[in-house]
Amino acid sequence: MQIRVRAAIGAIICATLTGLPAAQTGIPKETQLNPGRVTAGAGNFIAIGCVSREGQSTTPTFVMTDSRAKPPAQYRLEGDADLLRMHVGHTVEIGGPITPGGGTNASAPTLKVQSLIYISTTCVKLQ
């Protein structure tokens, strides 16, 4: 009887340890959810706002709307597409260097994602 119980416990432990890496596949490989907080200054910028996706192309464009500014500021996001896709519709803080928008149509500046801090599962209008 004890041998069967030990065998069952061993099988449960083995199944749990085998399934653990499979359960973690929701996080894109080689992606850090919070690689470290970036502080403003020294070429870095901090924006807090809602992440959205523009278009349905194979190379998606992600945009952040920072509603703290009047009118709200928009930034094109340059970073890990899998990480940004997970945060569409969420309020986050993103830090990194910013480059002005180029081209003839005054496009939004680009914010390179070096830090992403999750704030909320919904987009909220910050005052």
Domain boundaries along the sequence of the chain: 44-120
Provide the residue type at 91 as one letter: T
Give the pLDDT confidence score for residue 36 in this predicted structure.
60
CATH homologous superfamily for the domain 44-120: Nucleic acid-binding proteins (2.40.50.140)
- pTM of the predicted protein model: 0.65
| Whether residue 76 has pLDDT greater than 90 | yes
Check if the beta carbon of residue 104 is closer than 8 Å to that of residue 58.
Answer: no
Please choose, from the candidates 107, 116, 40, the residue with its C-alpha nearest in 3D space to the C-alpha of residue 79: 116
CA distances from 32 to 35, 105, 114 (A): 5, 34, 10
**CA distance linking residue 62 with residue 119, whole number of Å:** 17
Give the pLDDT confidence score for residue 28 in this predicted structure.
43
Q: What's the chain's average pLDDT? A: 76
| Whether residue 12 has pLDDT greater than 80 | no
Radius of gyration of the chain (CA): 21
The mean pLDDT value for 35-48 works out to 77
